[in-house]
Chains A and B, each alone.
Chain A
Amino acid sequence: MRRRRCLPVELNLADELLAPLEQLWRQGYVRLEDGIFSADEIALFRSESDRLMAQVHPWSERHANYGPTDYMLPVFGDRDWSVLINLAGRSAAIDRMLEKLFTHPRITALLEAIMGPGYKAWEISIRRSNAHDDGLRLHQDAQGEFGLSMLLLDNPGATGTTVFTPGSHRFPISARESGADYLAPKYMSRFVQPASGKAGDIFLFFKKTWHGRLPSRAPQPSDALLMGLFPVGYQFLPFRPEAATLQALGPELQRLLDPARQLQAVAERRCIVTDTAGSTTYDGPPRLIDHLYQPAPLLHPLRAAKLLGKSLDATHRLVKTVRAMKKRNSASL
């Protein structure tokens, strides 16, 4: 007897793929632990990322010296965190591993169930949370954006890694509307679950899920591979890799990053992802992500709070706390 699925779409997939998709749909994120990469590959990834992350430029240079779609950017950072925004094309060894990731049948099957075939990549980056990171407030990213992250170091704790508010991808209110994005990271721990695990563990998450980063006082930095992907029919602002950079990449990375393939300009600098025939209308098999952007409320906050595993009204209290803080602060001005 097959178990009834909680997914909003019928997906013709094996149980070992449906189980993580169910968890993704329930929580807004899911950890995959089945080791796409060997320990040797993770060590190589790590040493290459250390080499690439060695020299950090101040954030003030970002817009002063570089355009919004420039590809070969240096590492930018401050005392809290640093980021290498466009990773592909910097290290042949890492490029080969990224190619392996994006052609691994388990990963492609999951990503296609979520986003349909033909998804594109916006950003493939390495993020380093430094020792004494003050964290990042809860937020949501662009409509349709989907996240893939991989830990590059063991991180059994909650700090220095992305945290998620479980179920928040289906809240009928955004992080901004609720005021959650106002909450300082040091107060977030009651409302979030961390992307913790072993080096090589992969997290898939809707970027609509409220996510951020708790303050870190760990003596060591914490590194993660972070990616933003967009399905056919959704809009983003692509980076522009040079032809030589693109040509040196593997075939799937080329498809994901090439601004001349499957992208159609729709506004100043903005592009919409097209299918391989050039259509901006998705007409492929059902995909999970579309069900996040329907107008009807998807999940009541109180029901979502159960997913936190804490008090029943945790999310409600979060909203009340933030509103009270806002009121107090505005009164004191």
Chain B
Amino acid sequence: MLATSRSAMQENFGDRTERELTILLYHGVTNSPSAGIENYSGKHIPADDFAHQMQTIRRHCTVLSMDDIVELTLSGKPFPARAVAVSFDDGFANNCTVAAPILDDLKVPAVFYISSGIVNTTLMFWVDELEACLNLTQASNIALALDTPRTFSLAAREDRIAALETIKQFCKRSPSAVKNRVLAELKTATGVAPAVEQADNYRKITWDQMRTMAENPLFTLGGHSLYHDILSELPPEQMMRDVNLSIDLLNYHLDRPIEHYSYPEGQAHHYNDAVIDVLKQRGIVCSPSAIHGLNSAGTDLFHLKRVMVGFLNCPFPFIHLVG
């Protein structure tokens, strides 16, 4: 889940990918058909596309693990040519059931940043709840109070996407209480009770799946907050509790130390020095942002940029290498 502008995310990096580190950012990889506007944003990219992308980087790039990146950075060495790493945010079940087998077949290392409080639950992220409401409703239009009272037509697919985008953007710039109010009113207006059973892509990873992944030396598991709350917006004590418990839960269930993390939402205003301090106190060695961009050697390991792929038509940055 991210709030970078669309145009910025579609930036073409040209030949900078030859000498700078690219960290690819995915959320999900899917082989499930989507009905209506479910996954209209491309948050979960098709398995075939993902396999082609992984084949491309395996063949033409130097694929690094996050541990490799930490080691190179701390030792002051430059990144190799066309250095690339693969990362996943949030903790969708298809990370394990669809993406991991492809990565394992191609021997591509990857890091999975998991919001540990949602593992093994039927909870949905609020953006998925919005999508489900507008996708599954029988209503042809709805009235909703955003900053002003609004009526949204839901007659055509494009109308539903436009409504979803408008409501989502309003919620992203509003306090959580307003977001909760809008979400509750949307559920009432649409008559839809969102549930993970409504789409395979909504399902969350389980601890058993994570334990299986943790056994694979290709895969690194990291934290991503407890419930995907924006860490910079939490009161200091609550932020500390969130970060600590998110790491402790991973330690407890996976029985191994956790050294990697990423910030929910991940834009510059979604984390701060206080968050980074707590992460460092807990032994976290690297926490990339979701700010769109590449990384030159020596970039601070707590301010690394990433390149979103698929989501809102963000292009795969090595598309020019695809045969």
Contact = CB atoms under 8 A, between A and B. Distances in A.
Q: Do A and B come from one complex?
A: yes
Interface of A: 2, 12-16, 35-36, 38, 96, 99-100, 103-105, 117, 250-252, 276
20 contacts: A13-B180, A14-B181, A14-B183, A15-B184, A35-B122, A96-B207, A96-B253, A99-B249, A99-B252, A100-B120, A100-B121, A104-B117, A104-B121, A105-B118, A105-B123, A250-B253, A251-B244, A251-B251, A252-B245, A252-B249
B248 interface: yes
Interface string B120-140: 111100000000000000000
A250 B207 CA distance: 13
Interface string B99-125: 000000000000000000110111100
A92 to B, nearest CB: 11
The 7 tightest CB contacts between A and B, nearest first, are A251-B248, A14-B180, A15-B184, A250-B252, A105-B227, A12-B177, A103-B117
B249 A14 contact: no
B215 interface: no
Classify chain B's interface size.
Answer: 20 to 34
B121 A251 contact: no
Contact of A16 (B117, B118, B184, B244): B184
A234 to B, nearest CB: 20
Nearest to A13: B180
Interface in B251-268: 251-253
A15 B252 CA distance: 33
Contacts of A105: 117-118, 123, 226-227
A250 B249 contact: yes
A99 B207 CA distance: 12
Contacts of B273: none
Contacts of B15: none
B147 interface: no
B184 A14 contact: yes
A14 B251 CA distance: 31
A2 B121 CA distance: 30
- Greatest chain B CB density within 10 A among A12, A16, A251, A276 is at A251
A104 B227 CA distance: 9
A247 to B, nearest CB: 10
Nearest to A12: B177
B243 to A, nearest CB: 12
